[in-house]
Chain A
């Protein structure tokens, strides 16, 4: 998702097919083969119940076009702001709105919020209930970054993408993990396709359960991907490193354009809003 943090993910789809095939070959019955622990202890939640205000005890902002002023390393087109027209809380929902407008040299504005320095945790269940926009160019995400990216340059610090979505593929989301040896276009990733439904017409719960030896990805109650230390080694010819044993923080954003989704087209509707009902984190 992030700057430095990602280049092109097109290859992912093909890659994920391989993963999918492997999974199907290796684990005929996911319920037996996949490890699932229960995370029942609610340690963080934001139900977005404070009208008009983001809880500053939990959230802070990423602003602008990224540290390199290069669209967060992905040639994204938006300028992130903390203005209420881009990010606010209304009627119990977090609203992140992308607008088409000239602003500080960009043609779009949007917002990206994070819990860096405010809520960071290793392991547990992270989930959010989200409805996303639609149309070419929209690239909303719910994801985690390791809290040590300042010292251990990405991808060494690790990235866990719980939900990524491209507006021109309204029935599909991606879950991914990035680390040394499997980052950006080579991340370990898998897509999940809704049958007879889509992600922009209703809320879905995007969940991720993370333990010392695996990361499980859920859409609603469906477990669709498990990444283990063994996967990481298999995917990278033994080169990849498991970097998911330290605290990570949460990011929610709506990117516009860039390498992965491509630019909006004339049919893309602006403004549109990613609506988040809640964010919750559990531990064992």
Chain B
């Protein structure tokens, strides 16, 4: 799921506040002051979509492989009533798309779901496949209250599924009624049919014993500096349900109440973004409905990050990737989301100087949106800053060849096809100072550097980069 930048309600609420103040000057409350509430309809689909338009299903992006052909209503199969939702999960080589998924959206004002404790539905499959994701709260706008239950196992007979609501008090106006994503990972590429019926928000009364978690339950200690920000990830909520099973859902940050022990050091917002604002140490914790989440972040700021050495080469000698002193030759994707990557990357700007902060890196990459022809260039420059002893970073400068695609052997991690690379690992970095490197464009890319497409970053795990550019002296 993509995280999108939310549009805040802050401005709106300010207006409401002002309106409220104006109205409340009157002796009697005006009728206008009654807080608007949205319909609390729980049913989403029974035999028809309930209080939704005919266009309630919005597929994931077909350009990303989503198959829009396999979704429909089946009037011959139903758990109850006369019809159900039928989802034909495609084989990976289906020309219409390799997987199927999307959301059911309330295209009117949204619903008030505060009185419910779970989204439930009945489902069965033509195979006992595993469906990768079901949930709700994703509306393709803010996704502010996204909830995901991963890997539900289908039966070939109807079975009821329960997706607990992490904190229903937040769902005053929710438009994301359902989300699902299904592929054939569990069926060895064999397509299958999934039926869903009686999809509704319910008040079960048996959703209990909450065990919220942030940062995957770990108590992290992180060095940082003023001006940086850290995203609190690894957010889940677990409930014990009537069957006695614990059900764990991925929960968006906005279900949590985050607290910083010292807001003069670090502030944390409703999206779980920690902003380091001063030097010192702060503890970040979170609760859901007053239940303390396991996991915490101790962030220590040593003050402002010193500026990296300012490049002095004339711009005519430089093809820049990430550097404030030059115009970058291409934009880049700093969060490619490689499978298995644990990395958090953030561009942080303070005093008109941007740096790239990497946390918890195992491997990630800087993927150029357009390839760079470095045929006439001989070095890559990069400045690296570490705040812990023992940090080493490997840079893999990748030429992606004429096909313009990164081709990597998934077993060895080595370039294959028309790709080539050169790999350079720093020694242990000097702590709390900038380490400058000028890496020769040699090895596999000595004679193939006209389609540079990526810099793969391995190791660390925590470091800061600045001034990444190719040059000739």
Contact = CB atoms under 8 A, between A and B. Distances in A.
A191 to B, nearest CB: 14
B204 A170 contact: no
A140 to B, nearest CB: 15
B208 interface: yes
Interface stretch (B22-30, B240-248, B417-425, B439-447): B240-248
A69 B240 CA distance: 33
Contacts of A269: 209, 211
Listed from nearest, the 4 A-B pairs whose CB atoms lie closest are A196-B205, A168-B244, A201-B208, A197-B205
A171 B240 contact: no
Contacts of B211: 269
7 contacts: A168-B244, A169-B244, A195-B205, A196-B204, A198-B205, A200-B208, A200-B240
B203 interface: yes
A220 B415 CA distance: 69
Interface in B195-217: 203-206, 208-209, 211
Contacts of B244: 134, 136, 167-170
Interface string A181-205: 0000000000000011110110000
Size category, A interface: 10 to 19
A221 to B, nearest CB: 18
A170 B246 contact: no
B208 A196 contact: no
A135 interface: yes
Interface of B: 203-206, 208-209, 211, 240, 242, 244, 246
Nearest to B242: A171
Given A196-B204, A200-B208, A201-B208, A135 B240 contact: yes
A267 interface: yes
Given A134-B208, A170-B206, A198 B246 contact: no
Given A134-B244, A135-B240, A170-B208, 15 more contacts: A134-B208, A134-B240, A170-B206, A170-B240, A171-B206, A171-B242, A197-B205, A197-B206, A198-B206, A198-B208, A198-B242, A201-B208, A201-B209, A267-B246, A269-B211
Contacts of A195: 205
Contacts of B242: 170-171, 198
Contacts of B203: 196
Contacts of B205: 195-198
Most chain A CB within a 10 A radius of its CB, from B205, B208, B244? B244
Contacts of B204: 196
Contacts of B206: 170-171, 196-198
A127 to B, nearest CB: 24
A170 B246 CA distance: 11
Contacts of A267: 246
A129 to B, nearest CB: 19
B201 to A, nearest CB: 14
Nearest to A197: B205
B293 to A, nearest CB: 15
Contacts of A198: 205-206, 208, 242
Contacts, number: 35
Contacts of A167: 244
A263 to B, nearest CB: 15
A172 B340 CA distance: 42
Nearest to B241: A170
B246 A200 contact: no
Nearest to B203: A196
A60 B204 CA distance: 40
A197 B242 CA distance: 8
Interface string A253-276: 000000000000001010000000
B248 to A, nearest CB: 10
Nearest to B245: A168
Interface string A145-185: 00000000000000000000001111100000000000000
Nearest to B202: A196
A170 B240 CA distance: 9
A196 B206 CA distance: 6
Most chain A CB within a 10 A radius of its CB, from B205, B211, B240? B240
Nearest to B248: A267
B222 to A, nearest CB: 28
Nearest to B238: A267
B73 to A, nearest CB: 30
Most chain B CB within a 10 A radius of its CB, from A136, A169, A170, A201? A170
A203 to B, nearest CB: 14
A240 to B, nearest CB: 32
Contacts of A196: 203-206
B22 to A, nearest CB: 43
A133 to B, nearest CB: 10
Contacts of B209: 134, 200-201, 269
Nearest to A169: B244
B240 to A, nearest CB: 6
A116 B242 CA distance: 36
A169 B206 CA distance: 11
A171 B245 CA distance: 12
A170 B211 CA distance: 16
A170 B209 CA distance: 11
Contacts of A171: 206, 242
A195 B205 CA distance: 8
Nearest to A171: B242
A134 B246 CA distance: 11
A267 B239 CA distance: 11
Contacts of A197: 205-206
A103 B240 CA distance: 29
Contacts of A170: 206, 208, 240, 242, 244
B366 to A, nearest CB: 40
A135 B244 CA distance: 7
A272 B242 CA distance: 19
B216 to A, nearest CB: 16
A99 B409 CA distance: 51
Contacts of A201: 208-209
Nearest to B205: A196
B134 to A, nearest CB: 21
B210 to A, nearest CB: 11
Nearest to A193: B242
Nearest to A166: B244
Most chain A CB within a 10 A radius of its CB, from B204, B211, B246? B246
A231 B177 CA distance: 51
A171 B204 CA distance: 12
A129 B458 CA distance: 60
Interface in A28-47: none
A195 B206 CA distance: 9
A268 to B, nearest CB: 10
A195 B240 CA distance: 16
Interface in A201-235: 201
B256 to A, nearest CB: 20
